[in-house]
Amino acid sequence: MKILESIIEGLRTDYPAEKVLIGRHWTAVVSRSCGLASSMSQECATHDFEEGNGRALTDFTALELARRALSDDISEASLGLAAINSLIDVNMDRCIAIDGAEILMKKGKEKNISIIGHFPFVDDVRKVAANVWVMEKWQREGDHPAEAAEKFLPLSDIVVISSTTLINHTLEGLLTLCPDHALKMLLGPTTPLSDVLFEYGIDFLSGTRVIDPERVLRSISEGCHFRQLKKRGGVELLTLAKDQRMFS
């Protein structure tokens, strides 16, 4: 979990956790800003959210919650990633308001592309790429099991990885399978827009910034998935590149 540890070490300032909301699809922590992460759970939880003599989650600071990203319990890790995203001081001067899917469509023409996670844009990418290999735990038609990453990632020109791999702690192993020449993108609302990730070989960070916390919190409490969050407003898609010239 070296990547997560590095991201947490890079969080210079702590803030109170003013609000914590754990919804069906999304977890949100409000501190410096409103941070999101995918709500993930497992049947056998190894930790209890109620720690420290019954302290409420909002009794902890955001940095204390962020350290839960290191937990083996992915429910706790989801909360930790949301807290991390609430604390990151995003360099807006380097971000572009563009969906990572648009970048992939542009750069993926006639390329071999591996995608970890089944994203809504997969069928569109298949129309322009030479090969598209999708690896997903819950497979749809044409998808491959997660274990197929060992076969397909080394053959790829572009690798798109769901940022939920930070929650289940598989990101580092996946990056070791990527060839040096491959363009690597971390994608999804869970993505920390932290420059630290570029030190580990990632080229694009495509994530989300909450611009209307109250609206987003209400949507999360009503069980909205991300497409509904976007439709209702309150979030904007942002992409941060290791090198600004990569946007061209």
CATH architecture of 2-90: 2-Layer Sandwich (3.30)
The pLDDT-based confidence of 53 (bands split at 50, 70, 90) is low
pLDDT for residue 109 is more than 70: yes
Query: Among candidates 9, 59, 68, which has minimal Cα distance to 37?
Result: 68
What per-residue confidence (pLDDT) applies to 42?
Answer: 59
The pLDDT-based confidence of 137 (bands split at 50, 70, 90) is confident
CA-to-CA separations, 11 to 35, 48, 110, 203, 241, in angstroms, rounded? 14, 25, 39, 21, 20
Domain ranges within the chain, ordered by starting residue? 2-90, 93-214+233-247
Mean per-residue pLDDT over the chain, rounded:
93
What per-residue confidence (pLDDT) applies to 43?
Answer: 44
Q: Cα–Cα distance between 153 and 170 in angstroms, integer?
A: 14
In tens, the pLDDT along 14-36 reads 999 999 999 999 999 999 999 99
Average pLDDT over every residue of 62-86 = 97
What per-residue confidence (pLDDT) applies to 1?
Answer: 83
93-214+233-247 and 2-90 share a CATH fold: no
Q: Give the pair of three-digit tokens for residue 73.
A: 């319990």
The pLDDT-based confidence of 46 (bands split at 50, 70, 90) is very low
Question: The sheet that has 34-38: what strands, in order across it?
Answer: 19-22, 26-30, 34-38
Average pLDDT over every residue of 229-235 = 93
| Topology, domain 93-214+233-247 | Rossmann fold (3.40.50)
pLDDT for residue 117 is more than 90: yes
Average pLDDT over every residue of 220-227 = 94
What per-residue confidence (pLDDT) applies to 49?
Answer: 54
DSSP 10: T
The pLDDT-based confidence of 45 (bands split at 50, 70, 90) is very low
Q: Cα–Cα distance between 5 and 203 in angstroms, integer?
A: 19
pLDDT for residue 44 is more than 60: no
What per-residue confidence (pLDDT) applies to 51?
Answer: 53
Model pTM score: 0.94
For residue 139, which amino acid is it?
Answer: Q
pLDDT for residue 212 is more than 90: yes
Average pLDDT over every residue of 35-54 = 65
The pLDDT-based confidence of 130 (bands split at 50, 70, 90) is very high
